[in-house]
Amino acid sequence: MVSAPPPFDFHGWRVLVAGGSRGIGRSIALGFAQAGAAVSICARGAAALEETRLRIAAHDVTVHAQSVDLAQATAIQAWVDDAASALGGIDVVVNNASGYGFRDEDEDWLANFNVDLMAAVRASRAALPHLAGSAHPCILHTSSISALRPRPGGPSYAAMKAALSHYTTSQAQALASRRIRVNAIAPGSIEFPGGLWDQCRKDDPTRYAEVLAKIPFGRYGTPAEVAHAALFLASPWAGWITGQTLVVDGGQLLAG
């Protein structure tokens, strides 16, 4: 959750966050809600989805939550249409979900292709008719610093995040004439309860320490720090920014 009052006012805005029930997506959804936006989230896990819905509702904003398998095109279309109806339109779409496939197996490649890449393509496509009616339309994708350098482990994850970053630039160019801005955020290693690095700290403390040693700021990032970047990129303060991937990593990429 955003730890300080956000410097932006999103009252009257309608925001969709795919993969919004935990971690980075949850913080982004809560950040927009804290700033006054109506928010729709989707995810597969019902318990986390409901818990986050209640946290968003506590900010006294309109909230919509729907259980969705983001690997399914028809489910994405239904969520976007239902969310637009519940919120009264769409201003911002945040594509944050991941298939979290890290093996060099067909199953992992397909999971990442369907969720990291195609879910973003499909949600964007479904939202375009609704974004056309917005005064400040914006699409945000969650990429990764893994997209920006070779990765010996998790090639399928890195490759699909790289494809997502490239899609960001192509999509931004295609939609610029319609004044729809498109940007991505590339987080570094982000730690939160139940997340990958939290689990790594418990199961593989040696690797956890090795990665930590490569982060110049000397700590893992937090979901709220990624949410801060998302709110900025969606805001009018970033109104002349499109087609960019913003790295949020405490200098991790600089260390190689």
Residues 6 or more apart whose CB falls under 8 angstroms from that of 226 comprise 24, 27, 28, 142, 185, 187, 190, 248
Q: How many domains does the chain have?
A: 1
How many residues appear in the chain? 256
Residue 217 lies in a domain: no
Residue 97 lies in a domain: yes
Residue 9 lies in a domain: no
Per-residue pLDDT band at 2 (split at 50, 70, 90): very low
135: which 2 tokens?
């005064």
Top pLDDT among 153 and 170 is at 170
Top pLDDT among 198 and 185 is at 185
CA distance 244 to 168: 7
Portion of the chain with pLDDT greater than 70, in percent: 98
Residue 8 lies in a domain: no
pTM for the model stands at: 0.94
Report the CATH number that the domain containing residue 158 is assigned in CATH.
3.40.50.720
Residue 7 lies in a domain: no
The model's pLDDT over 113-124, given as tens digits with 9 standing for 90+, comes to 999 999 999 999
222: which 2 tokens?
């937090």
Structural domain including 73 reads 14-192+222-255
Distances (CA, A) of 240 to 31, 112, 235: 22, 31, 10
The one catalytic residue among 27, 40, 124, 143? 143
Residue 99 lies in a domain: yes
Residue 228 lies in a domain: yes
Residue 40 lies in a domain: yes
Query: Are the beta carbons of 180 and 139 closer than 8 angstroms?
Result: yes
**Has 161 been annotated as catalytic?**
yes
Nearest to 223 by CA among 11, 51, 31: 31
The one catalytic residue among 98, 161, 189, 235? 161
The model's pLDDT over 78-115, given as tens digits with 9 standing for 90+, comes to 999 999 999 999 999 999 999 887 888 999 999 999 99
| Sign of the alpha-carbon torsion through 106, 72, 245, 6 | negative
The model's pLDDT over 9-47, given as tens digits with 9 standing for 90+, comes to 999 999 999 999 999 999 999 999 999 999 999 999 999
Question: In this predicted structure, what is the pLDDT of residue 248?
Answer: 97
Nearest to 140 by CA among 80, 104, 98, 181: 181
The one catalytic residue among 98, 156, 157, 165? 157
Query: Are the beta carbons of 18 and 26 closer than 8 angstroms?
Result: no
The one catalytic residue among 98, 124, 144, 146? 144
**Has 157 been annotated as catalytic?**
yes
Per-residue pLDDT band at 7 (split at 50, 70, 90): confident
CA distance 39 to 187: 22
**Has 143 been annotated as catalytic?**
yes
Distances (CA, A) of 113 to 103, 108, 117, 129, 156: 13, 8, 5, 24, 8
**Has 67 been annotated as catalytic?**
no
